[in-house]
Structure 1
Amino acid sequence: MADVAIIVPTLRRPESLERAMRSLFRQTGVADRVAEIVIVDNDPQGSAADLSDDLRAFSPWPIIYRHAPTPGVATARNAGLSATAATLIAFLDDDEAASPGWLAALLKAQEDTGADAVFGPITGRAPGAEPWLESYLERFFGRDGPERTGLIAEPYGCGNSLMLRSTALPGHAPFNVAADQAGGEDDALFAALAARGGRFGWAADARVEEFAPAHRATLKYALARAFAYGQGPSQTAAAARNWPGVARWMLIGAAQTVVWGVAAAALTVMVRPGRAEMYDRAARGLGKVFWTRGFEPHFYGARELARLDAA
């Protein structure tokens, strides 16, 4: 019963895309479950078309190439969904590489828990990072969870996930394109799912590696992302017009900014590597306070394309 589509959005990262795809070709125990792999090329120039053609010779399943020329993370995910009728959707980002049992573990976790969306652990890799930052960045780009598979109270991000389309991904474009440039397209999606009574699961054995490219393996980039992550709770409350919730998150953020900011200052004076973690926590607190759209940093879409054009 081929009922799973794997969606891989990409933006002008051919080496990373090939690594991600070849990791999918090595999946075990799912030969009869995968209907297709969908490569969503988010480059206006369609630069992944030739590589997609080349990879078909090695794939055990059909590869669908979908060109989404308007750069944006939500647009790319929606385009991938429009290319398949599969009832189960797995997402693997183009900077990730899946372990051989990745998809089988996600599927088993979904079957065992009945969850609408299932997530797996991520091992972060930051090749080329400054030595004092490497450990922090690997944790930053990684993702840990419970030791055992089961239901969880809070969702994670779309990278390394499996979703039941009928409940977790309703409609023809479930990802909000307003998040195209800044990211966070999954925050609103999962908040709405939780409000409908949806359930989230964890697949402890569904591990992937995430390789941070050189321009992302920096403290500046990580702290900008940490700030954006911090904005998430306040923005989600605001989207629901839960103004007491917004005020609560802002107060929490203000306290976190002060406490972790003081700790960061002390560790900076002592030149301790742990200062990066304190910077991170303070940035997340600050994001809860300055959550409005005007303060959103941009990481995807047009901003990323401009960086690639300038490189």
Structure 2
Amino acid sequence: MIPTMRRPESLARALRSVFAQDGLADRPVSIVVVDNDPAATARSTVETLKADSPFPVVYRHEPRPGVATARNAGLSETDAPLIAFLDDDEAASKGWLTALLRAQEETKADAVFGPIAGRIPDERSWAAVYLQRFFGRRGPLSTGLIDHGYGCGNSLMVRHSALPGTAPFDASADQTGGEDDALFAALKARGGRFGWAHDAWVEEFAPPHRATMSYALSRAFAYGQGPSQTAAKARDWSGVFRWMLIGTAQAVVWGLGAMALTIAAHPRRADLMDKAARGLGKVLWTKSFEPKLYGVRELQRLDGVNPSAA
């Protein structure tokens, strides 16, 4: 399943990487592309590339912008027992899907994740190492069970246990992201298991407007909000207070460290800025502070609209 919004070149690259998958033998595979642009701009790309696909390709138009809504729409197009997710800015290695399937069979995990190599447009930037790591993903050096989930990009999920119901992704997170964090928190609470496929590699190509410190720190802040928001949803107010105390300490300690390294122009300052932003997110966890990074806000950016003025 590949959700997409106005990234025709990236979508074509992602699709071709899936077409090139090997080692699948006679396993039934189909591809679902969810076009999340109200103008349905991905339709022509999908129709053009269909003829090159060794697998059936399903096109679904979901005009309501939002990543959770898009994923839910895609799930309604298939009754497959296993769902692999690939983002439209990712390209899978040839053995990607085989590696995910093999890891799921070995671990019996409900959700399996693989490593991501982050790619950014400007590799000479002072923050290049941090940004490549930010858009990438590293894990254990061998396949096995792990104790937590990652993001949906580059994952394989067992439909009945990891994706229950007709709309397992929370559409209230359409504009902010974090719908996968909520999904995996609920899965863990039900006793679900997470797996890691060490050889299921994909590359993620960060577009120029996202390969910036401002975007990365906004995402880091949103990630930081996760633990406090999860505790609040469970009405665990002592847990919220604990996370806020932890976040305050992190924001102060790492923030001061980031200031010192910024004065010294040290490249590691990006890492401390990230940690400080995550700490601040634990403190400012309410909806009013959630950064709007997806859905309508992304569509406004693509339309050339100043989101702050919209």
The two structures have a TM-score, normalised by structure 2, of: 0.97
Distance 2:117 2:234 in 1: 33
In structure 2, stretches of 5+ residues that fail to align are: 306-310
State percent identity of aligned pairs. 69
User: Match for residue 19 of structure 1?
Assistant: 13
Opposite residue 220 of structure 1, the aligned amino acid is S
Residues 249-275 of structure 1: CA deviation (Å, up to 9, x unaligned): 111111100110111011011011111
User: Match for residue 308 of structure 2?
Assistant: none
Distance 1:243 1:273 in 2: 38
Give the drift of 1:33.
Answer: 2.1
Does structure 1 residue 29 correspond to structure 2 residue 23? yes
Does structure 1 residue 73 correspond to structure 2 residue 67? yes
User: Match for residue 192 of structure 1?
Assistant: 186
Helix, strand or coil: the match of 1:183? coil
User: Match for residue 54 of structure 1?
Assistant: 48
CA contact (8 A) 1:181 1:300 kept: yes
Distance 2:125 2:40 in 1: 36
From 281, 284, 294, the equivalent of 2:275 is 281
Moved more, 180-189 or 30-39: 30-39
CA contact (8 A) 1:129 1:218 kept: no
Give the drift of 1:129.
Answer: 5.6
CA contact (8 A) 1:129 1:217 kept: no
Give the number of aligned pairs. Answer: 305
CA contact (8 A) 1:72 1:181 kept: yes
In structure 1, stretches of 5+ residues that fail to align are: 1-6
User: Match for residue 236 of structure 1?
Assistant: 230
Opposite residue 162 of structure 1, the aligned amino acid is L
From 1, 6, 10, the equivalent of 2:4 is 10
Distance 1:281 1:176 in 2: 26
Does structure 1 residue 45 correspond to structure 2 residue 39? yes
Give the drift of 1:237.
Answer: 1.2
The two structures have a TM-score, normalised by structure 1, of: 0.96
Opposite residue 109 of structure 1, the aligned amino acid is A
User: Match for residue 166 of structure 1?
Assistant: 160
Distance 1:128 1:257 in 2: 28
CA contact (8 A) 1:129 1:214 kept: no
Helix, strand or coil: the match of 2:192? coil
User: Match for residue 99 of structure 2?
Assistant: 105
Give the drift of 1:95.
Answer: 0.3
RMSD: 1.0
Give the drift of 1:110.
Answer: 0.3
From 187, 204, 226, the equivalent of 1:210 is 204
